[in-house]
Amino acid sequence: MVKPKVLIVGKLPPPYYGPAVATQIILNSELKHKFDLIHLNTTVNQSISDFGSFSYGKLLKNIRIYFRLISLLIKHKPDLCLIPISQSTPGFIKDSIFILLSSLFGAKVVLQLRGSNFQNWMTSSTKLVRGYIQFCFRQTEGMIVLGEKLKDLFEGYYKKEQIFVVPNGCDLDIQRDKPQDDTVRLLYFANFHSAKGIKEVLKAVAILKEKGIEGFTLKAVGAWNNGVFEQECKQLVEKKQLPVEFRSPTSGDEK
């Protein structure tokens, strides 16, 4: 039996962050036994701090990726293309080229939103941008979101049966070590962006200490994307003498 061909567009780690890890999980999942999975790696950033910056090197990498997509579309003739979309205008414009090329070469396209800020972005966008987004959506078969409550975001663009829910998650075999003492161990596991809430977590730890609550530690694991923000957080920890340890990104068994 010939397996359906699915072309998956997406980044792979490193650097480690949500969408890249999600792509890695899909490629390593049981889906590879049911479908012929073809992957187009769209990674151009070497580290979290590179995100949002422009360079001619990154521009050339993106152009090469588009030509690589054309090559895969011609060679494999996939039945379906899975394309994640950004929630910013520059990011979506880059993603839209994947959408339009895939549609042009006759593949069905399903989009995936790995976030929840779509409505805010649409509201703040110009009429021209909103029109372009709607045009791109019309070239696709449906949208994947992370939760039931996010389906409403796209009911104005797709029929209900074209909006699918696929929560984040993966299968893990976790071996737990018994704690050596009664210390409560807290873990923050995400990259250190201001929008991710690490500073709010540190402020909460400071409140606990000010109230005389002890017997806990916080281990924060991730990568900084802004030097100024990094100094602000680390100065807060030092000034308040908080029981916090920062660690660099971790993956695999160590994670």
Which residue pairs, CB below 8 angstroms and at least 24 apart, start in 120-124?
A: 121/87, 121/88, 121/89
Write down the pLDDT at residue 211: 93
What's the pTM value of the predicted model, to 2 decimals?
Answer: 0.73
Q: In which band, very low, low, confident or very high, does the pLDDT at 50 lie, cut at 50, 70 and 90? A: low
Report the chain's mean pLDDT, rounded to a whole number. Answer: 90
Tokens of 23: 């792509």
Residue 59 has pLDDT above 90, yes or no: no
pLDDT digits (tens, 9 = 90+) for 130-189: 999 999 999 999 999 999 999 999 988 999 999 999 988 766 676 777 767 788 999 999
